Structure 1
Amino acid sequence: MTQRWFVRGDIDGFFGLFIDNLLQLMVIAVLGPLVSGLPSELITGRILPGAAVSILIGNLLYAWQARRLMRESGRTDVTALPYGINTPSLLAFLFLIMGPIYQETGNSTLAWQAGLLACLLSGIMETAGAFVGDWMRRHTPRAALLSALAGVAITFIAMGFTFQIFASPAIALLPMLIILISYASHVRLPLGIPAGLVAVLVGTGLAWVLRAFGFIYFEPSVEPYRLVLYPPIPAVGEILAVLRGPMGWRFLSVIVPMGLFNVIGSLQNLESAEAAGDRYPTRSSLLINGIGSLTAALFGSAFPTTIYIGHPGWKAMGARAGYSILNGAIIAALCLLGGVTLILRFIPIESTLGILLWIGIIMTAQAFQEVPKRHTLAVAFGLVPSLAAWALTLIETSVQKAGKTLFEAAPAFGRDLHIHGIIALSQGFLLSSMILSAALVAVIEREFLKAVVWTVIAAGLSMIGLIHAFELVPSGVQNKFGIAAAPEFALMYGLSSLFLLMLHLSNSWRRR
């Protein structure tokens, strides 16, 4: 059976993955100077070239992995794992590590170096996860893994992009509808033109035509651009410099949870890929992920990489291995040539968002479709922590735009909005989503001893502050790590485990 390197669906898949990666690079270019004082020369000359190396290597390795699965299985419909910069880690490292160091010292170079150390340690954790990930995957219910992913998909992906689309309907709504109609109906467009390409061309055409008639729905980037090659430069010296001081190490309380979340997120995405029909080995998949983050740090990027959410979405588009190769090559070229923002002079980002919306909704649907019917209750329960985390971002943004801090506004909410409950549920939401869902699956199956294990884990994580623990300080919500970080939650989870143990013993006695 012939295995083609590229198929028509790879073009659609490329557009989705390319835009997803491009969005992360735009965040670095825009927020880096604002939050961490990173000069544009540092971003263009060191950080983005480092990101180029990591993205290129990871995409090529995942494409090779997909080709190998094709040969071993005799199938031609295998889709490579989507891959790129980890968005939660990107934001956490900018706002919780690099930003505070820059505000404290005024030294953007030191902030960047601390980010490199954080990325390196995250890569080490991801690599270590390759050797324990299979065990975690075997002992975690599919509903627990998929519900956490679905929560992120329906909130941070689908809802956020939906708002942006409906804020610019003149150039975004029609491209979105083209995507949804084409992908949901599985209809083949005339001449076999990919729906993703049609959507982008239609949105871009609308933007420029309306602009010609005086309707400014699209504002092209005015940032100057020079066609210059920025080669990746090793950053070992910068990492060694920050290793000698305490500045980078003091943020382990941020680095360790984010590294753990990255491993768990990768496991969830592997489970999602298996549910869609592509079973990849855990060890090699996580090793590639770890290699990507390590490479990023060693060549100057402070932002770890990860397996992306949305494999079923790209598979439904017809993407195989070629889309990964295209994405790695073109993203790397943009980074190495300093052209990350050049494309935004011509293509409005709004015309591309329908692809990402499709990925968000298909991931949410999959979580309910790919589990036993009786476990859908656990999937629904697992969505709640993600909803809380998303709600918190909306509340914080609204309060800040009103000229206040959450610390000042929190007392005024009272019983109209239980803000402390929202914050507690949002802390470590990926972990708590998985744990709550897994515990409910065990309860549904009347495997009360397994439920005991999950609630004991919840109690332990609450005690050390990986879930539910926080402090509300004048600067905002602050993570709280240490012994007895969230004692009320730990105690209640502990008592629930005793109740479950009692049920287990009672059922065992009845069976005798």
Structure 2
Amino acid sequence: MSAATLPRFSRGDLDGFFGLALDNLMLLLVLSGLCRGVLGFSDALLFGHVLPGAAISLLVGNLYYAQQARRLARETGRSDVCALPYGLNAVTVFAYVFLVMLPAKLAAQAAGAADPERIAWQAGLLACFGCGFIELSGALFAERLRRATPRAALLSTLAGLALGFIALGFLLRAYAQPIVGLGTLAVVLLGYFGRVRFRGGLPVGLVTVLLGTLLAWSTGLAPAGAPPPAPSLHLPVPVLADFIAAFRWDFISQYFAVIVPMGLFTLVGSMQNLESAEAAGDRYATAPSLAVNGAGSMLAALFGSCFPTTLYIGHPGWKAMGARAGYSTASGVVIALLCLSGTLAHLAWAVPVEAGMAILLWIGIVMSAQAFSATPRAHAPAVVIGLLPGVAAWGALMAKAGLRAAGVGVTQPFTPELLPKFLLQDIHIDGAFALEQGVVFTAMILSAATVAVIERQFLRAALWCLSASALSALGLMHAYRYTYGDTALALQPAWPWVIAYALMALLFAGARWLTQPDESRRAEEQG
């Protein structure tokens, strides 16, 4: 196959570019706001080191995955190969700001440090590097784990997160701004589900963003505030002194409980995204894909970013748009230029996220649908079970956001006294808090055990439950603690769940003696 068969940039790549670039742009704006508003980072630190560091990792990673797609196209003789989507890790943005850097800053202030913001930044560099190192190391064994896990378990875990954190999140946002949100949603439904082309050959993504921007300006949603100041160029420079200073024992011991779960979460999530890509027809080698992802986060830390990168949910959606390799290259180059040139705020001022949020909503829908379409029909119950923890985690996020809006976690801390108040409304919020911690492991294991039961492989189901019991004993699932304005992984044994999963394992292991085949149901299934 000639290199020309997979073009450098195609019509579908433009659609994919808008979706991937907007996703990264939104996260860059969020982390910029958190760095300045919560951590108090100076413009020199944010624009001089944090954003350039992120730019390097995004550029290198996206260029690699674009080239990886072209190589796969040459090897398979196919012209429909889509590159793996890659960008900033949304989960670690919030985890590292509120569970690593903010505590580090507050501790430094209490100790009378002269520059607590710099100490907070150094703690973030350690966390970012640690996350990348875990994924780079995990690349050595992830393929074996991936092959041992049913596809329904891998895809339903992603689908639950996509349904909650992408589809539902952007659906709420669309209905909060209905003129922009529903107007652009109609364009997306026509172009992607209706399989039609707009007159003049305009790509769906371009039509969506142009219409969304026009509607945003006409309804007063944009521009947002005063025009930003003049841009200035900031080239990436390694921050060796601060990077070395970050490897302090007090940082390592204090934030180990955050860094390790986040690294494992990223590793397993990336592995699931590779399975999702394979289900859509693009099989990428696990080890190099994960290794580059981990190396990207480590490189980001070396150049000053506190925020790891990851393989994104949504490959089937971008592929269905017609995106190939060019969208990955374009996204990496454009986002890097925005970060390095200081024009990130200017673009956000003119083109709000709402202008393209319908594209991201569509990605969430496609990801959720893939969990059913790419797995055996008999495994549908396992897919549903795998969906539920992700939706529950999103519900926990919404509940805590509502509490903070009411002042809890702002003027008064989160405490266990919240639980009976929720229970009066028949809401078992403690279950949601427990599901939120280690949600990827919970969803994958429950779904995998259900697949094993459906296939009457009861011993395998027992082994999956024993793995859940072990993870709960290590504190990587369900164990949570209260911080001032949130709940976080406690990294201590979650004994009720240790016992509960062990009981499930015992029942499954004993199924051959406790049960007998239901011949009437077997005949009904075969009929």
Give the structure-1-normalised TM-score.
0.95
Is 1:31 aligned to residue 34 of structure 2?
A: yes
The Cα offsets for residues 24-62 of structure 1, whole Å up to 9 and x where unpaired, read as: 101111111222222232111100000000000000000
Q: Read off the aligned partner of 1:432 and give its amino acid letter.
A: T
The alpha carbon displacement at 1:248 in A equals 4.2
Letter in 2 for 1:269: N
Partner of 2:505: 497
RMSD: 1.8
Task: Note closer, same or farther for the CA distance 1:221–1:78 as it changes in structure 2 (3 Å cut).
Answer: farther
Distance across 2 between alignment mates of 1:109 and 1:323: 36
**Structure 1 residues 94-113: aligned runs within 5 Å:** 94-106=97-109, 107-113=116-122
Kept in 1, the 8 Å contact 2:222–2:350? The answer is: no
Query: Hey, what does 1:451 align to over in structure 2?
Result: 461
Q: What residue ranges of structure 2 are gaps of 5+ in the alignment?
A: 110-115, 519-527
Distance 1:79 1:476, change over 3 A: closer
- Of residues 436, 449, 461 in structure 2, which corresponds to 1:426? 436
Residue 15 of structure 1 pairs with residue 23 of structure 2: no
Given that 1:389 and 1:425 are in contact with CA atoms closer than 8 Å, whether structure 2 keeps it comes out as: yes
1:302–1:192: structure 2 CA closer, same or farther, 3 Å change rule? same
Aligned to 2:66: 63
Q: How does 1:134-283 map to 2 (within 5 A)?
A: 134-208=143-217, 210=218, 215-222=219-226, 224-283=228-287
Provide the C-alpha distance between the structure 2 equivalents of 1:24 and 1:473, rounded to a whole number of angstroms: 24
* Amino acid in structure 1 at the alignment position of 2:345: T
The structure-2 alpha-carbon separation of the partners of 1:509 and 1:436, relative to structure 1 and needing over 3 Å to count, comes to closer
Sequence identity, in percent? 48
How far apart, in 1, do the equivalents of 2:51 and 2:29 lie? Answer: 10
User: 1:394 Cα deviation (Å)?
Assistant: 1.1
| Partner Cα distance (1:145, 1:252) in 2 | 26
- Whether the 8 Å CA contact 1:86–1:306 is kept in 2: the answer is yes
Are residues 233 and 497 of structure 1, via their aligned partners in 2, closer, same or farther at CA, if it must alter by over 3 Å? same
Q: Deviations over 1:114-134 (max 9, x none)?
A: 110111111111111111111
Q: Does the Cα contact within 8 Å between 1:456 and 1:493 map onto a contact in 2?
A: yes
Does residue 95 of structure 2 align to residue 92 of structure 1?
yes
Output the CA distance in 1 between the equivalents of 2:252 and 2:241: 14
Q: Is the 8 A contact 2:408 2:485 kept in 1?
A: no
| Cα offsets for 1:152-179 (capped at 9, x unmatched) | 1111101111111111122232112101
Cα distance in 1 between the residues matched to 2:86 and 2:31: 17
- Give the Cα separation in 2 of the matches to 1:33 and 1:504: 60
For 1:281 and 1:141, the matched residues in 2 are separated by: 18
Deviates more, 1:164-173 or 1:130-139: 164-173
Deviation at 1:245, TM superposition (A): 4.2
CA contact (8 A) 2:156 2:371 kept: yes
Q: 1:135 to 1:266 in 2, by over 3 A?
A: same
Equivalent position of 2:448 in the other structure: 438
Paired residue type of 1:176: L
TM-score of the pair, normalised by structure 2:
0.92
**Cα distance in structure 1, aligned partners of 2:272 and 2:104:** 32
Distance 1:494 1:163 in 2: 39
Which of residues 131, 134, 137 in structure 2 aligns to 1:125? 134
Query: Where do residues 389-428 of structure 1 align in structure 2 (5 Å cutoff)?
Result: 389-405=393-409, 406-407=414-415, 408-415=417-424, 416-428=426-438
Give the whole-Å Cα distance in 2 for the aligned partners of 1:82 and 1:492: 37
Instruction: Tell me by how many angstroms 1:265 deviates.
Output: 0.4
Residue 366 of structure 1 pairs with residue 370 of structure 2? yes
